[in-house]
Structure 1
Amino acid sequence: MLTLYHAPTSVCSQKVRIGFALMDLSYESRMLNLQAGDQFDPDYLKLNPDAVVPTLVDDGLVVVESSLILAYLDRQHFGGRLMPSEAGARVRAEHWLLRCLPIHAAINTLSFSTAMRGKILAEKTSAEIDALAARFPDPMMGKKRKDLILNGLASPYVAQALIYLRRLFTDLQNELEEGPFLNGASPDISDVALSAYVDRLDRLGFSGLWEDTFPRVGAWLEAWKAVPAYAQGITDHLPPGSAEAMKAGGSAHWPELALRWRELADGTH
Structure 2
Amino acid sequence: MAQSKAEKKFTLYYFPTSYSSQKVLLALFEKELTFTPRLVSLFSGQHNQPWYVKLNPEGAHVPVLKDEVADMIINEPENIMEYVDKSSENGETLFPDESSELGKQVRQLCKRLDMVEMDIITYGIIYHPHLSEAGCQISGAEQRSMRENFANRLSYLTELAAAHPALRDSYLTKSQIAAQKFDTITDEAKVKGHLEALKRLMKDIEQQLKDLKEKNGDVADVLWLFGPMFTAADIHLTVLLNRLTLLGMDKYYFPPDQCPHIDSYFSQVKKRPTYIRLEKEISTLRLTLLWENLKAWSPFLAGAAGIGVVAGGAYLVYQKNK
TM-score under structure 2 length normalisation: 0.66
For residue 201 of structure 1, report the CA deviation from its aligned partner: 0.6
Answer yes or no: is the 8 Å Cα contact 1:182–1:190 preserved in 2. Answer: yes
Structure 1: 5+ residue stretches without partners: 249-269
Q: For 2:13, what is the secondary structure of its paired residue?
A: strand
Specify the alignment match of 2:144 in structure 1. 119
Answer yes or no: is the 8 Å Cα contact 1:14–1:234 preserved in 2. Answer: no
For residue 182 of structure 1, report the CA deviation from its aligned partner: 0.7
- Render the CA deviation track for 1:180-235: whole Å, top value 9, x for unaligned: 31121342121012211221011111112221433322221111100010121233
4+ residue runs of structure 1 moved beyond 6 angstroms? 242-245
For residue 129 of structure 1, report the CA deviation from its aligned partner: 5.7
Specify the alignment match of 1:185 in structure 2. 228
Please show how residues 140-219 of structure 1 align to structure 2 within 5 Å.
140-147=176-183, 151=186, 154-177=187-210, 178-179=212-213, 180-208=223-251, 209-211=253-255, 212-219=257-264
For residue 30 of structure 1, report the CA deviation from its aligned partner: 0.6
How many residues get paired? 241
Q: Does 1:74 align with 2:85?
A: yes
Q: Does 1:18 align with 2:26?
A: yes
**Measured at CA, do residues 122 and 16 of structure 1 come closer, stay the same or move farther in structure 2, by a change above 3 Å?**
closer
Structure 2: 5+ residue stretches without partners: 1-8, 129-142, 159-170, 214-222, 291-316
How many angstroms apart in 1 are the aligned matches of 2:39 and 2:150?
Answer: 27
Answer yes or no: is the 8 Å Cα contact 1:133–1:146 preserved in 2. Answer: no
For residue 84 of structure 1, the aligned residue among 84, 87, 96 is 96
How many angstroms apart in 2 are the aligned matches of 1:15 and 1:123?
Answer: 25
For residue 132 of structure 1, report the CA deviation from its aligned partner: 5.0
**Measured at CA, do residues 186 and 137 of structure 1 come closer, stay the same or move farther in structure 2, by a change above 3 Å?**
same
Look up the equivalent residue of 1:110 and give its one-letter code: I
Structure 1 vs Structure 2 CA RMSD: 3.0
- Render the CA deviation track for 1:63-105: whole Å, top value 9, x for unaligned: 11112211111122237722235822111111123224321x1
How many angstroms apart in 1 are the aligned matches of 2:226 and 2:48?
Answer: 38
Look up the equivalent residue of 1:142 and give its one-letter code: A
Answer yes or no: is the 8 Å Cα contact 1:9–1:234 preserved in 2. Answer: no
**Measured at CA, do residues 66 and 56 of structure 1 come closer, stay the same or move farther in structure 2, by a change above 3 Å?**
same
How many angstroms apart in 2 are the aligned matches of 1:136 and 1:89?
Answer: 41
- % identity of equivalent residues: 23
For residue 164 of structure 1, report the CA deviation from its aligned partner: 2.9
